[in-house]
Copies of this chain bind each other. A is one copy, B any other.
Amino acid sequence: MTSLTDLLDGRWGAVRRDIRAQVADTKFRDPYGLGVEEHRAQVLEQLHELAGTGRNRLGFPVEYGGGGDIGGSIVSFEMLGFGDLSLMVKAGVQWGLFGGAVQLLGTRPHHERYLRNIMDLQLPGCFAMTETGHGSDVQHLRTTATYDPAAREFVIDTPDVQARKDYIGNAARDGRMAVVFAQLVTGSERRGVHAFVVPSRDEDGNALPGVRIEDCGPKAGLNGVDNGRLTFEQVRVPRDALLNRYGDVAEDGTYTSPIDSDSRRFFTMLGTLVRGRVSVAGSAGSATKRALTIAIRYAERRRQFFRPGDGEEVVVLDYLAHQRKLLPALATTYALHFAQEELVTSLHELQSADEVDEQRQRELESRAAGLKAVATWHATNAIQTAREACGGAGYLSENILPSLKADTDVFTTFEGDNTVLLQLVAKGLLTSYKDHFEDLSPLATARFVAEQFVGAVIERTAARQVVERIVDASPGRDDDDALFDRAWQCKLFEDREAHVLDGVARRLRQATAANAFEVFNDAQDHVLRAGRVHVDRLVLEAFVAAIDRCEDGEAKDLLSRVCDLYVLANVEADRAWFLEHGRLTSSRAKAVTAAVNDLCRELRPHARTLVDAFAIPEQFLAAPILAED
């Protein structure tokens, strides 16, 4: 259904179509069967090819030869998610994290010196933030960068093994330089975490003096990415190695910054790097689409067990249990796609604007964190389900699902551990944290959070306006058909979010300075839930807005049913809460389960249409289980 593909392609449809055309002209080299070193070599070669397509330049400024199209750049990473995910991650490290850090944390001299070489891969680099001992709590990294005013140099040092940089992509084999995050010390004062460009290898690929490079070795997946460990032994870099947009050190060692608070400065720096999380959410979506497309196409041809009476074997997608495995997951994938599109649009507009809108930037970070968590957990679950739905065939590497599962597995814990991210979302909702950056850490005192509870939970998104129009136009109903009433659905999600948040706030308000940790920790499951239901509401609203944009009646009707399935499967999974809080009666809750079954049956004939609308290039679906005999 072309109109469905057009709607899914959205604002960056031209970028998507260009990529599909480019991909159609090349042969996809699946890494199936390659050893770790061969795989790494292939991915590097593909990365160089990608550098020739121009897609790598999309996110960089026009004045340095970039495309100046931030949204297009994110969509291009998302499209890489249909292929070998090692290439997506390696590209993300080079152009998103490494290049992005130089671009967004550096200033003109850094841009002039590095950006072109980064774009064309003359300078392969790393993003060295995570340490062995600190992954989530990056504010407390322990690598130091001590300014030596006599030499006008910084001394980068790894004090012990827990402070070595770990899991760093591009480090073990190819990276020549790293953006290293370290505690800046000048005049014996600590100024918090800053980023430095530190060469790690010479032209011949040898580690530079004082830099120890280790290989993290084989991983569960993504073996085309050379993750490594970096240890710095008193490595000296010039003063201008500091990426100094948010903090600078003068020749005499004087520190200056436009942002006073160390903590607020650091989170501002982190905030500029939000593209990484948005890209992970997007490519998790692509991998999920690929897995579901394979599983649904297979389920349409695989037959098992005879139907009593007629001597025909039943197509497995005709079984309710099989539909229940795949179709709600497909509906959620649609919902997340539209939420992702909305997130990319916000990101594009914010980062393309001349003025920084701090409030919207915080909202963007929160939504990126939340959507990343929800989308990557969904990927983990849906790809697992797709594998199981294909039985033994799904376990063979040739049928693609094993690499999708293994490669995406780390998505739930890299670029921010999902549990920590959902907590950040909740705290963002609970805190008017614009002026209180010190309190962003997940262990911020609970009392503070509770006192600052602002109540203004429902922020304004573009989709929000569509939802309000629909809710306002609805007569309001409370019969069984209400389950399919979009206004009722939206209000149900809103009400859940408001109530959960309200409950969390009340619990945290009991905290005193002495028991802050205990009160917060006792409510941690409740806090996480607040983050989760907030994201669910945003996702639904994005879906509703997308349906509203759809101009093709047939596509619109189909999407509307898919949206019903997304909503009702979500409500079904969470119906204990709705029952406990008097939002659903027992009979209505049972009706939700029945409605999910009905929707599965109703959508089953459209399953193929729905996966084909993703328009995944066929070369990425060349699994033998889908081949004709």
Query: Footprint of B on A, CB under 8 Å?
Result: 32-33, 35, 130, 133-137, 140, 160-162, 166-167, 216-221, 303-309, 313-314, 318-321, 324, 380, 384, 387-388, 391-392, 394-398, 401-402, 405-406, 409-410, 412-414, 417-419, 441-445, 513-514, 516-517, 521-522, 524-525, 528, 575-576, 579-582, 586, 589-590, 593, 597, 629
Contact = CB atoms under 8 A, between A and B. Distances in A.
Contact of A525 (B160, B318, B321, B590): B321
Nearest to A520: B308
A471 B167 CA distance: 54
Nearest to A577: B576
A406 B406 CA distance: 8
Nearest to A390: B413
Given A305-B441, A307-B517, A525-B324, A219 B396 contact: yes
Contacts of A580: 575, 579, 586, 589-590
B304 A136 contact: yes
A217 B33 contact: yes
B524 A319 contact: yes
A444 B308 contact: yes
Contacts of A419: 321
A152 B443 CA distance: 80
Contact of A321 (B528, B590, B593): B528
A450 B524 CA distance: 46
Nearest to A321: B524
11 contacts: A136-B391, A167-B392, A167-B395, A219-B395, A220-B396, A220-B397, A308-B443, A309-B513, A525-B593, A579-B589, A581-B586
Contacts of A524: 319-321
B443 A306 contact: yes
B218 A32 contact: yes
Nearest to A514: B309
Given A220-B387, A308-B444, A392 B590 contact: no
Nearest to A397: B218
Contacts of A581: 586
- Determine which residue in A396, A589, A590 has the highest number of CB atoms from chain B within 10 A of its CB, and name it: A396
A586 B597 contact: no
Nearest to A36: B33
B629 A161 contact: yes
A394 B398 CA distance: 25
Contacts of A33: 217-218
A524 to B, nearest CB: 4
B405 A391 contact: no
A459 to B, nearest CB: 25
A309 B516 contact: yes
Contacts of A579: 576, 579-580, 586, 589
Contact of A314 (B217, B321, B398, B443): B443
Nearest to A572: B576
A442 B305 contact: yes
Contacts of A413: 388, 391-392, 394-395
A304 to B, nearest CB: 5
A104 B418 CA distance: 50
Contact of A217 (B218, B398, B412): B398
Nearest to A161: B629
Contact of A305 (B137, B305, B388, B414): B137
Contact of A135 (B219, B391, B513): B391
Contacts of A395: 167, 219-221, 409-410, 413
Nearest to A578: B576
Given A402-B219, A444-B308, A384 B391 contact: no
Contact of A597 (B166, B216, B314, B525): B525
